[in-house]
Structure 1
């Protein structure tokens, strides 16, 4: 987009009104404070829209999507590691109409994988991961999200993260707290990161900022989407 194009189309000061911007014009490495504020506002509105659309789906539709995602996950993980057995895989306890993969997690434990759930120990710090089994004690963590009450902390080989929205560059739109990106940045070696969500939650771009970390692959009911 040229300066003339910008003026002709009547955009606000770049990149105000992020939903109007040509993604090719947006600079993800920019540090302009106004740009960042506009992206944050756009993400907040987009998050509200996508969460409302997901919550409005019948339970049966979400269950069908989860069932279709599970074999795709198996394919992606086996393609990367050649196995499921012996891997440590972190997932999530579903909230806010998130896709429920717990039946698959139970199956993973039965096949010799270690399953972990993320735990917030201190607000604003990277997540830790505690081992989960179907019969382990569960308590309410921060924001009343169920977490394992006790048990060893583990480092995942694979991290599964629910997405509110996603784009074809592999970036995920989450809930806005930045916990997952902060955690991936802190883990060494970095785990294989898989974002999981609905095909309908795809957006053209989330307008990534410097702190955003792309997933290695996004998996939806339609299949895997590698950047």
Structure 2
């Protein structure tokens, strides 16, 4: 990825996306945006430049919710500072989907790519910067609202257990909810019920279950 491509994306983000995230309490690290709850859970938006066509600026937008205990589980063998957090630390994550003109879909471009043509390379098949900004801001507003609700751990646990939110990296709603509840001393009875159910599953992840119980004992 050359510097001009990253610079074009960064300039676009600074004009159109950063102001709305800043207004909602996000901090910026390059093209990573992070909002931290009172319980040190992280809502993350990560924007990555992609090289596709000359004269066309292309990027993807990833959103992730990374609860503090889930970060601790992923990084249990090493201490990782918040400056190193990315969408890979998300218990839940989602890539913002985009509309694309039919000509681009025919070329095999997926709906995860956001694109606009540089002023020097206008094309009827590629959105303008203004068109792209309106579309991505509309989708980003939706995901920011979702992330804000998930920073409430009660809402997050309910969403996981109900199946409304599909956790990544951990198999099963019970264990995913248990990881979150490991830091909630007032809900340890519920935590034990979840761990008991998980322990009776086929090939239970004993290391994770033991880690959750150990962390809960220190909460």
Asked if Structure 1 and Structure 2 have the same fold, meaning a TM-score greater than 0.5 normalized by the shorter chain, the answer is no
TM-score range, shorter chain: under 0.3
TM-score of the superposition, structure 1-length normalised?
Answer: 0.23
* Normalised TM-score (structure 2): 0.24
Ranked by relative contact order (alpha carbons within 8 Å, sequence separation 6 or more), the top structure is: 1
Q: Which has the higher helix share?
A: 2
